Amino acid sequence: MTILQGAILGIVQGLGEFLPISSSAHLLLVSRLLQMESTPAFKIFEILLHVGTLVPILLVFWKDWIDMIAHPIKNPTLRLLFLASLPALVFYVLFDMDALDSGWCLGPMFFVTSLLLLGIDFFSRRQTKPQSTVGVRHALTMGIMQGFGLFPGISRSGSTIFGGVLSGLDRRTAAKFSFMMSAPAVVASLLVEGKHALEENLLSEIELIPTVCGVVLAALVGILTIRWFLRMIVRMPMAVFALYVALLAVAILVLQLGHSPLLPLFQAPEGMQILRFLK
Protein backbone atom coordinates (compact mmCIF):
# COMPACT_ATOMS: atom_id res chain seq x y z
CA MET A 1 0.00 0.00 0.00
CA THR A 2 1.30 3.46 -0.88
CA ILE A 3 0.88 6.61 1.19
CA LEU A 4 -1.52 7.97 -1.44
CA GLN A 5 -3.68 4.84 -1.26
CA GLY A 6 -3.76 5.02 2.53
CA ALA A 7 -4.69 8.71 2.39
CA ILE A 8 -7.50 8.16 -0.13
CA LEU A 9 -9.01 5.33 1.91
CA GLY A 10 -8.75 7.42 5.08
CA ILE A 11 -10.69 10.26 3.46
CA VAL A 12 -13.29 7.81 2.15
CA GLN A 13 -13.71 6.36 5.65
CA GLY A 14 -13.97 9.80 7.26
CA LEU A 15 -16.76 10.77 4.86
CA GLY A 16 -18.55 7.43 4.59
CA GLU A 17 -18.76 6.70 8.32
CA PHE A 18 -20.87 9.77 9.06
CA LEU A 19 -22.67 10.32 5.78
CA PRO A 20 -25.45 7.76 5.11
CA ILE A 21 -23.69 6.14 2.15
CA SER A 22 -22.03 3.02 3.69
CA SER A 23 -18.33 3.44 4.46
CA SER A 24 -17.62 -0.31 4.18
CA ALA A 25 -19.05 -0.46 0.65
CA HIS A 26 -17.14 2.64 -0.45
CA LEU A 27 -13.90 1.27 1.00
CA LEU A 28 -14.51 -1.92 -0.98
CA LEU A 29 -15.23 -0.04 -4.21
CA VAL A 30 -12.32 2.39 -3.89
CA SER A 31 -9.85 -0.34 -2.93
CA ARG A 32 -10.88 -2.24 -6.08
CA LEU A 33 -10.44 0.89 -8.19
CA LEU A 34 -6.97 1.27 -6.66
CA GLN A 35 -6.33 -2.42 -7.49
CA MET A 36 -5.71 -3.35 -3.86
CA GLU A 37 -6.15 -6.94 -2.74
CA SER A 38 -8.40 -7.89 0.18
CA THR A 39 -5.81 -9.60 2.36
CA PRO A 40 -6.06 -10.30 6.12
CA ALA A 41 -3.64 -7.41 6.70
CA PHE A 42 -5.92 -5.10 4.70
CA LYS A 43 -8.84 -6.08 6.92
CA ILE A 44 -6.81 -4.99 9.95
CA PHE A 45 -6.13 -1.71 8.14
CA GLU A 46 -9.89 -1.24 7.67
CA ILE A 47 -10.49 -1.81 11.38
CA LEU A 48 -7.84 0.80 12.19
CA LEU A 49 -9.58 3.26 9.86
CA HIS A 50 -12.75 2.71 11.89
CA VAL A 51 -10.71 3.43 15.02
CA GLY A 52 -9.72 6.69 13.31
CA THR A 53 -13.38 7.65 12.96
CA LEU A 54 -13.94 6.69 16.60
CA VAL A 55 -11.89 9.75 17.53
CA PRO A 56 -14.48 12.28 16.23
CA ILE A 57 -17.23 10.46 18.15
CA LEU A 58 -15.22 10.77 21.37
CA LEU A 59 -14.27 14.40 20.74
CA VAL A 60 -17.57 15.78 19.45
CA PHE A 61 -19.60 14.12 22.21
CA TRP A 62 -16.96 14.35 24.94
CA LYS A 63 -19.36 15.92 27.46
CA ASP A 64 -21.78 13.00 27.02
CA TRP A 65 -19.04 10.40 27.51
CA ILE A 66 -17.72 12.12 30.64
CA ASP A 67 -21.21 12.38 32.12
CA MET A 68 -21.85 8.69 31.36
CA ILE A 69 -18.65 7.66 33.12
CA ALA A 70 -19.18 10.04 36.05
CA HIS A 71 -22.85 9.12 36.55
CA PRO A 72 -23.34 5.56 35.22
CA ILE A 73 -26.54 5.07 37.24
CA LYS A 74 -28.15 8.47 36.80
CA ASN A 75 -27.28 8.74 33.11
CA PRO A 76 -29.12 6.00 31.15
CA THR A 77 -27.21 6.48 27.87
CA LEU A 78 -24.57 3.87 28.66
CA ARG A 79 -27.24 1.24 29.32
CA LEU A 80 -29.11 2.25 26.18
CA LEU A 81 -25.94 1.95 24.09
CA PHE A 82 -25.37 -1.54 25.49
CA LEU A 83 -28.98 -2.46 24.74
CA ALA A 84 -28.70 -1.08 21.21
CA SER A 85 -25.58 -3.18 20.58
CA LEU A 86 -27.23 -6.53 21.34
CA PRO A 87 -29.22 -6.95 18.07
CA ALA A 88 -26.08 -6.34 16.00
CA LEU A 89 -24.34 -9.07 18.00
CA VAL A 90 -27.16 -11.47 17.10
CA PHE A 91 -26.81 -10.54 13.42
CA TYR A 92 -23.05 -11.09 13.62
CA VAL A 93 -23.55 -14.56 15.11
CA LEU A 94 -26.23 -15.56 12.58
CA PHE A 95 -24.73 -14.15 9.39
CA ASP A 96 -21.32 -14.74 7.84
CA MET A 97 -20.44 -11.25 6.63
CA ASP A 98 -17.19 -12.51 5.08
CA ALA A 99 -19.37 -14.22 2.46
CA LEU A 100 -20.34 -10.76 1.17
CA ASP A 101 -16.87 -9.22 1.13
CA SER A 102 -16.37 -9.71 -2.60
CA GLY A 103 -19.04 -7.09 -3.31
CA TRP A 104 -21.32 -9.26 -5.45
CA CYS A 105 -24.45 -7.90 -3.70
CA LEU A 106 -23.54 -4.20 -3.40
CA GLY A 107 -26.07 -3.04 -6.02
CA PRO A 108 -29.21 -4.33 -4.26
CA MET A 109 -27.85 -3.29 -0.85
CA PHE A 110 -27.35 0.28 -2.06
CA PHE A 111 -30.97 0.25 -3.25
CA VAL A 112 -32.00 -0.76 0.28
CA THR A 113 -30.03 2.18 1.67
CA SER A 114 -31.76 4.50 -0.79
CA LEU A 115 -35.18 3.33 0.41
CA LEU A 116 -34.19 3.74 4.06
CA LEU A 117 -33.05 7.31 3.43
CA LEU A 118 -36.31 8.15 1.68
CA GLY A 119 -38.04 6.59 4.68
CA ILE A 120 -36.30 9.07 7.00
CA ASP A 121 -37.80 11.97 5.04
CA PHE A 122 -41.20 10.26 4.85
CA PHE A 123 -41.60 9.47 8.55
CA SER A 124 -39.99 12.68 9.85
CA ARG A 125 -42.50 14.75 7.86
CA ARG A 126 -45.34 12.88 9.55
CA GLN A 127 -44.08 13.35 13.09
CA THR A 128 -46.32 15.55 15.21
CA LYS A 129 -44.32 15.51 18.45
CA PRO A 130 -40.83 14.11 17.76
CA GLN A 131 -38.96 13.15 20.91
CA SER A 132 -35.51 14.45 21.81
CA THR A 133 -34.73 11.87 24.51
CA VAL A 134 -33.70 8.32 23.64
CA GLY A 135 -35.62 5.56 25.42
CA VAL A 136 -35.59 1.76 25.42
CA ARG A 137 -37.94 1.51 22.42
CA HIS A 138 -35.77 3.84 20.36
CA ALA A 139 -32.54 2.06 21.33
CA LEU A 140 -33.92 -1.38 20.45
CA THR A 141 -35.32 -0.22 17.12
CA MET A 142 -32.06 1.48 16.18
CA GLY A 143 -30.13 -1.56 17.39
CA ILE A 144 -32.11 -3.87 15.10
CA MET A 145 -31.49 -1.52 12.18
CA GLN A 146 -27.79 -1.47 13.05
CA GLY A 147 -27.81 -5.23 12.51
CA PHE A 148 -28.93 -4.67 8.91
CA GLY A 149 -26.19 -2.05 8.61
CA LEU A 150 -23.59 -4.81 8.94
CA PHE A 151 -24.30 -5.81 5.34
CA PRO A 152 -21.93 -4.06 2.88
CA GLY A 153 -23.88 -1.43 0.96
CA ILE A 154 -26.47 -0.83 3.70
CA SER A 155 -25.45 2.34 5.49
CA ARG A 156 -25.12 1.83 9.24
CA SER A 157 -25.81 5.48 9.99
CA GLY A 158 -28.65 5.63 7.46
CA SER A 159 -30.35 2.51 8.77
CA THR A 160 -30.03 3.48 12.43
CA ILE A 161 -31.24 7.06 11.87
CA PHE A 162 -34.20 5.55 10.01
CA GLY A 163 -34.86 3.33 13.04
CA GLY A 164 -34.69 6.33 15.34
CA VAL A 165 -37.08 8.45 13.27
CA LEU A 166 -39.42 5.49 12.78
CA SER A 167 -39.62 5.01 16.55
CA GLY A 168 -40.40 8.69 17.15
CA LEU A 169 -37.08 10.52 17.63
CA ASP A 170 -36.32 13.80 15.92
CA ARG A 171 -33.68 13.59 13.21
CA ARG A 172 -30.82 15.24 15.11
CA THR A 173 -31.29 13.13 18.25
CA ALA A 174 -31.46 9.99 16.10
CA ALA A 175 -28.26 10.99 14.27
CA LYS A 176 -26.39 11.73 17.51
CA PHE A 177 -27.35 8.41 19.11
CA SER A 178 -26.59 6.62 15.83
CA PHE A 179 -23.04 7.96 15.84
CA MET A 180 -22.54 7.13 19.51
CA MET A 181 -23.80 3.59 18.83
CA SER A 182 -20.84 2.97 16.54
CA ALA A 183 -18.35 3.30 19.42
CA PRO A 184 -19.12 -0.08 21.10
CA ALA A 185 -19.13 -1.80 17.69
CA VAL A 186 -15.71 -0.38 16.77
CA VAL A 187 -14.21 -1.32 20.14
CA ALA A 188 -15.62 -4.86 19.87
CA SER A 189 -14.27 -5.26 16.31
CA LEU A 190 -10.87 -3.96 17.39
CA LEU A 191 -10.69 -6.47 20.25
CA VAL A 192 -11.78 -9.44 18.12
CA GLU A 193 -9.69 -8.60 15.06
CA GLY A 194 -6.77 -7.43 17.20
CA LYS A 195 -6.66 -10.80 18.94
CA HIS A 196 -6.75 -12.52 15.54
CA ALA A 197 -4.00 -10.23 14.22
CA LEU A 198 -1.73 -11.04 17.16
CA GLU A 199 -2.33 -14.77 16.83
CA GLU A 200 -1.65 -14.74 13.08
CA ASN A 201 1.20 -12.19 13.34
CA LEU A 202 -0.61 -9.90 10.90
CA LEU A 203 0.59 -6.70 12.53
CA SER A 204 4.03 -7.22 11.00
CA GLU A 205 2.42 -7.08 7.54
CA ILE A 206 0.83 -3.66 8.08
CA GLU A 207 2.68 -0.81 6.40
CA LEU A 208 3.14 1.79 9.13
CA ILE A 209 3.30 5.14 7.32
CA PRO A 210 0.34 4.59 4.91
CA THR A 211 -1.69 3.20 7.82
CA VAL A 212 -0.94 6.15 10.11
CA CYS A 213 -1.71 8.55 7.26
CA GLY A 214 -5.04 6.85 6.60
CA VAL A 215 -6.06 6.76 10.26
CA VAL A 216 -5.16 10.42 10.87
CA LEU A 217 -7.06 11.57 7.77
CA ALA A 218 -10.05 9.42 8.72
CA ALA A 219 -10.13 11.20 12.09
CA LEU A 220 -9.68 14.72 10.69
CA VAL A 221 -12.19 14.32 7.86
CA GLY A 222 -14.54 12.55 10.27
CA ILE A 223 -14.56 15.52 12.67
CA LEU A 224 -15.50 17.92 9.87
CA THR A 225 -18.10 15.54 8.44
CA ILE A 226 -19.86 14.73 11.70
CA ARG A 227 -20.14 18.40 12.67
CA TRP A 228 -21.47 19.35 9.24
CA PHE A 229 -23.96 16.49 9.12
CA LEU A 230 -25.38 17.21 12.57
CA ARG A 231 -26.04 20.81 11.48
CA MET A 232 -27.54 19.87 8.13
CA ILE A 233 -29.69 16.87 9.01
CA VAL A 234 -32.52 19.03 10.37
CA ARG A 235 -32.87 20.91 7.08
CA MET A 236 -31.32 18.78 4.33
CA PRO A 237 -33.57 16.10 2.78
CA MET A 238 -32.05 12.64 2.88
CA ALA A 239 -33.35 12.25 -0.68
CA VAL A 240 -30.08 13.88 -1.80
CA PHE A 241 -28.09 10.94 -0.47
CA ALA A 242 -30.81 8.50 -1.55
CA LEU A 243 -30.40 9.64 -5.16
CA TYR A 244 -26.62 9.25 -4.95
CA VAL A 245 -26.67 5.68 -3.63
CA ALA A 246 -29.47 4.72 -6.07
CA LEU A 247 -27.39 5.95 -9.02
CA LEU A 248 -24.39 4.12 -7.59
CA ALA A 249 -26.48 0.94 -7.33
CA VAL A 250 -27.47 1.21 -10.99
CA ALA A 251 -23.86 1.81 -12.04
CA ILE A 252 -22.67 -1.23 -10.06
CA LEU A 253 -25.33 -3.52 -11.54
CA VAL A 254 -24.50 -2.28 -15.05
CA LEU A 255 -20.81 -3.06 -14.46
CA GLN A 256 -21.65 -6.48 -13.07
CA LEU A 257 -23.99 -7.36 -15.94
CA GLY A 258 -21.33 -6.13 -18.34
CA HIS A 259 -18.81 -8.54 -16.78
CA SER A 260 -16.53 -5.73 -15.65
CA PRO A 261 -13.35 -6.96 -13.92
CA LEU A 262 -13.88 -4.32 -11.22
CA LEU A 263 -16.69 -6.27 -9.56
CA PRO A 264 -17.81 -9.91 -9.45
CA LEU A 265 -21.06 -10.95 -11.11
CA PHE A 266 -24.27 -10.35 -9.23
CA GLN A 267 -24.63 -13.89 -7.97
CA ALA A 268 -23.64 -15.65 -4.80
CA PRO A 269 -20.49 -17.77 -5.21
CA GLU A 270 -21.31 -21.43 -5.70
CA GLY A 271 -21.78 -23.32 -2.46
CA MET A 272 -21.79 -20.15 -0.37
CA GLN A 273 -24.13 -19.90 2.61
CA ILE A 274 -24.69 -16.53 4.25
CA LEU A 275 -26.43 -17.98 7.32
CA ARG A 276 -23.81 -19.57 9.58
CA PHE A 277 -26.10 -22.30 10.94
CA LEU A 278 -26.77 -23.62 7.41
CA LYS A 279 -23.11 -24.40 6.83
CA 132 to CA 150: how far, in whole Å?
Answer: 26
| pLDDT value of position 279 | 52
DSSP state of 263: S
* Contact indicator for 129, 70 with CB cutoff of 8 Å: no
Q: Which of 161-165, 214-218, 264-268 has the lowest mean pLDDT?
A: 264-268
> For all residues of the chain together, what is the average pLDDT?
89
Could you count the other beta carbons within 10 Å of the beta carbon of residue 152?
A: 23
Average the pLDDT over 95-121 and give the result. 87
Dump pLDDT digits (tens) for 205-252.
788 899 999 999 999 999 999 999 999 998 899 999 999 999 999 999
* Contact indicator for 278, 143 with CB cutoff of 8 Å: no
Which amino acid is residue 216, in one-letter code? V
Q: What is the pTM of this model?
A: 0.92
Q: What are the CA-CA distances from residue 80 to residues 39, 84, 138, 177, 183 (Å)?
A: 35, 6, 9, 10, 13
- pLDDT greater than 80 at residue 204: no
Task: List 169's β-bridge partners, or say none.
Answer: 131
- pLDDT greater than 60 at residue 49: yes
| pLDDT value of position 176 | 96
